[in-house]
Chains A and B, each alone.
Chain A
């Protein structure tokens, strides 16, 4: 046990409610996302098993998990983490390994390992939703509408500021595609120093007109306020602005970058069996389809996508076309290569930050 972690965990003890044995503490991102999980998984699981779920929110990252594991004082059982954290946490020994055998088969009998989207079953992580970073625009402020990733980098045809997330991730990928790299070769090109240089040169061409955002809530607001004419954004946020708030925003799916969220079990939890049972329950296609009626993130398995119905608040709104995995949206999709990023995030972050302030 590292001494620092002890103090950190001691602080946490005061701050968090202590769950009694038999209760599951599930930590997720809060807001509409946790709401969708509560409706699709938490409530039905509690009703069928009789156990309680304590739902907690966090803002991403693994510092809390690391502190709990190193102090041997685990109070979180299951965490919803992004792909990058799923790999990092598994490498660092912060998560329990999960045997994919526990996952239920599809309704037609297809084994789970074939039914889950490629790369969504990891050593420690079971994929739950697939979401996307693509760019959006305000229909009232931009006509004719942009339709390709090249349009995003075309300042002559579409003058005005662009919003981009302040990170090299996604931005390097779409810059290369806009520069003519086929979507299936993006990471091969990025593995070479020349490829990285090429991406930065492309980004240079719009750098002066970029407004960098950091929090997912920013892009829709920037578009509504007219601070930017186009912005990369998480598809769920844009959908929410369109469907729940009636804003005149629209998505351009060209060169969307697909990522995922995953269930992981914190190493050393006293509730391992319960946690596995919950993940099994939350991986049933019919339950995953329910979640997609609450939020526009796609289920991580194919058979669930076929069961997705309409938006819960508007029975006339079909969810399918708003999901990143909809066939029409998938033509030029890039599957985020987290292994590449796990290897290169440190150097590329430094280079990106140095480039930003130059």
Chain B
């Protein structure tokens, strides 16, 4: 009992660290994707009125009056900008509608309905008020809906996003597609290398292993840029093709700033994550089994397929899961070499984190990505069993 407690005590620092630096921040961040009280906090009069309003009937004078009161207050408190930014996410142009109305709100007189519509005709539209109703809700599915190309409206309905603005589902699908392709390429390229490594004498193995690890230690930016130099139109590879007469000078291949570039660069960068677990597992496979298969009459292919490969499955599993999950989160490489069709969902998350400051939407997209990866992980577990995965 004491020994077990002591053992537990040794893991406590790590657990506490994980909890404080990983689990809680992730949960808090995900929470932001469904909870946004910006409007409710600063617009205390109109929030309850909007909540009781059903979102379908004509807005009443009481609603306009409450809004006018809030606008005056928010301008005085200098919180109008925050509210306006929140509303703009539901209603393009809502930002300037709020700030410019608030500037003149104090001078308006009852009846406020006419006064506001007089000032800005947008106040007479039902969609404006429906957008306000969405913004006023403290708990909202709006961000989650947006992140899967749906539109949550103020009357409670959920419809598909306007066709010209549908982008997220395509990006999620592409992220999965690119990650899967990168994983397959890594496996095809990495398997023979790992086999070679595990069957050479120790001295040559160490040398080759350094060749695998050297890129691993090089900055990802340097490696990505190197691929640009190699693959671009006037790059090393195209120059070689032209020099050897494979292609004409005016028909050079375009291998970068498109999906090809993304696949090549990401495969190269993630390759060590496939080779290392494979190598670790292959080293433990006794040579005697394959020799026994041969002496029992199996040809090379049968011995490999039925005897050797099954013993390396735990390594394949580990490598595949590692590479796939890392690939789904990549964004620097696609941003640099991806061009038009190489962007992934993480590029959009990055955009909303750093540029538009729409953290709730970033959180919602992160949540969808997390669920997607967890689902694939679960699927993998069902098909091949996570307990069979080994890192060596």
Binding site for B on A (CB under 8 A): 3-4, 7-8, 11, 59-63, 66, 88, 90-93, 210-212, 214-215, 225-227, 339, 342-347, 349-351, 353-357
17 extra interface residue pairs, beta carbon distance < 8 Å, beyond A4-B28, A344-B93, A357-B170: A3-B24, A3-B28, A4-B359, A7-B25, A60-B354, A66-B359, A88-B357, A91-B82, A92-B81, A210-B340, A214-B336, A215-B336, A225-B234, A227-B233, A344-B92, A349-B356, A357-B340
A212 with B232, Cβ < 8 A, contacts A61-B354, A63-B357, A354-B165 known:
no
A226 with B234, Cβ < 8 A, contacts A343-B92, A346-B88 known:
yes
Interfacial chain A residues near B166, Cβ < 8 Å: 354
* Residue of B29, B88, B93, B164 touching A354 (CB-CB under 8 A): B164
CB–CB A346/B167 < 8 A: no
Interfacial chain A residues near B84, Cβ < 8 Å: 91
Q: How far is it, in angstroms, between the C-alpha of A342 and the C-alpha of B358 when the chains are bound?
A: 13
CB–CB B341/A357 < 8 A: yes
CB–CB B28/A7 < 8 A: yes
Q: Using an 8 Å CB-CB cutoff, how does the interface string of B83-105 with A read, 1 for contact, 0 for none?
A: 01100110011111001000000
Chain B interface residue count, Cβ-Cβ cutoff 8 angstroms: 49
Q: How far is it, in angstroms, between the C-alpha of A61 and the C-alpha of B335 when the chains are bound?
A: 16
CB–CB A92/B85 < 8 A: yes
* Residue of B78, B81, B95 touching A343 (CB-CB under 8 A): B95
Interfacial chain A residues near B28, Cβ < 8 Å: 3-4, 7
B259 nearest CB across to chain A (Å): 11
A99 nearest CB across to chain B (Å): 14
Chain B 20-36 interface residues, beta-carbon cutoff 8 Å to A: 20-21, 24-25, 28-29, 31-32
Q: How far is it, in angstroms, between the C-alpha of A59 and the C-alpha of B31 when the chains are bound?
A: 27
Q: Using an 8 Å CB-CB cutoff, how does the interface string of B331-345 with A read, 1 for contact, 0 for none?
A: 000011001110100
Chain B interface SS verdict (over half): helix
Interfacial chain B residues near A346, Cβ < 8 Å: 88-89, 92, 356, 358
Confirm or deny: B353 has a beta carbon within 8 angstroms of a beta carbon on chain A.
Answer: yes
> Residue of B at shortest CB range from A196?
B164
Interfacial chain B residues near A61, Cβ < 8 Å: 353-355, 357
Interfacial chain B residues near A345, Cβ < 8 Å: 356
Confirm or deny: B39 has a beta carbon within 8 angstroms of a beta carbon on chain A.
Answer: no
Q: How far is it, in angstroms, between the C-alpha of A62 and the C-alpha of B357 when the chains are bound?
A: 7
CB–CB B233/A226 < 8 A: yes
B196 nearest CB across to chain A (Å): 36
CB–CB B79/A7 < 8 A: no
A225 with B339, Cβ < 8 A, contacts A90-B81, A350-B165 known:
no
Q: Which 9 A-B pairs have the closest CB atoms?
A: A91-B81, A61-B354, A350-B165, A347-B92, A7-B25, A4-B28, A354-B167, A353-B167, A343-B93
A339 with B96, Cβ < 8 A, contacts A63-B354, A353-B167 known:
yes
Confirm or deny: B279 has a beta carbon within 8 angstroms of a beta carbon on chain A.
Answer: no
Interfacial chain B residues near A211, Cβ < 8 Å: 257, 339
CB–CB A212/B89 < 8 A: no
Interfacial chain A residues near B25, Cβ < 8 Å: 4, 7-8
A154 nearest CB across to chain B (Å): 20
Q: How far is it, in angstroms, between the C-alpha of A354 and the C-alpha of B81 when the chains are bound?
A: 29
CB–CB A91/B95 < 8 A: yes
Interfacial chain B residues near A4, Cβ < 8 Å: 25, 28-29, 31-32, 359
A356 with B165, Cβ < 8 A, contacts A343-B88, A343-B96 known:
no
Q: How far is it, in angstroms, between the C-alpha of A8 and the C-alpha of B78 when the chains are bound?
A: 25
Binding site for A on B (CB under 8 A): 20-21, 24-25, 28-29, 31-32, 78-79, 81-82, 84-85, 88-89, 92-96, 99, 164-167, 170-171, 174, 232-235, 257, 335-336, 339-341, 343, 348, 351, 353-359
Interfacial chain B residues near A350, Cβ < 8 Å: 165, 167
> Residue of B at shortest CB range from A210?
B340
> Residue of B at shortest CB range from A161?
B233
Interfacial chain A residues near B339, Cβ < 8 Å: 211-212
Q: How far is it, in angstroms, between the C-alpha of A66 and the C-alpha of B355 when the chains are bound?
A: 11
Q: How far is it, in angstroms, between the C-alpha of A342 and the C-alpha of B81 when the chains are bound?
A: 11
A358 nearest CB across to chain B (Å): 9
Interfacial chain B residues near A7, Cβ < 8 Å: 20-21, 24-25, 28
Interfacial chain A residues near B257, Cβ < 8 Å: 211-212, 227
CB–CB B353/A351 < 8 A: no
A137 nearest CB across to chain B (Å): 16
* Residue of B32, B81, B336, B343 touching A93 (CB-CB under 8 A): B81
Residue from the set A61, A62, A344, A353 with the largest chain B CB neighbour count within 10 Å: A353
> Residue of A at shortest CB range from B93?
A343
Q: How far is it, in angstroms, between the C-alpha of A210 and the C-alpha of B340 when the chains are bound?
A: 9
CB–CB A93/B79 < 8 A: yes
Q: How far is it, in angstroms, between the C-alpha of A11 and the C-alpha of B170 when the chains are bound?
A: 33
Q: How far is it, in angstroms, between the C-alpha of A225 and the C-alpha of B348 when the chains are bound?
A: 29
CB–CB A357/B356 < 8 A: no
CB–CB B167/A357 < 8 A: yes
Interfacial chain B residues near A63, Cβ < 8 Å: 353-354, 357
A94 nearest CB across to chain B (Å): 9
A60 with B164, Cβ < 8 A, contacts A88-B85, A92-B81, A227-B232 known:
no
B2 nearest CB across to chain A (Å): 35
Interfacial chain B residues near A90, Cβ < 8 Å: 81
Q: How far is it, in angstroms, between the C-alpha of A193 and the C-alpha of B167 when the chains are bound?
A: 19
A1 nearest CB across to chain B (Å): 12
Q: How far is it, in angstroms, between the C-alpha of A74 and the C-alpha of B96 when the chains are bound?
A: 29
B22 nearest CB across to chain A (Å): 10
Residue from the set B92, B164, B234, B343 with the largest chain A CB neighbour count within 10 Å: B164
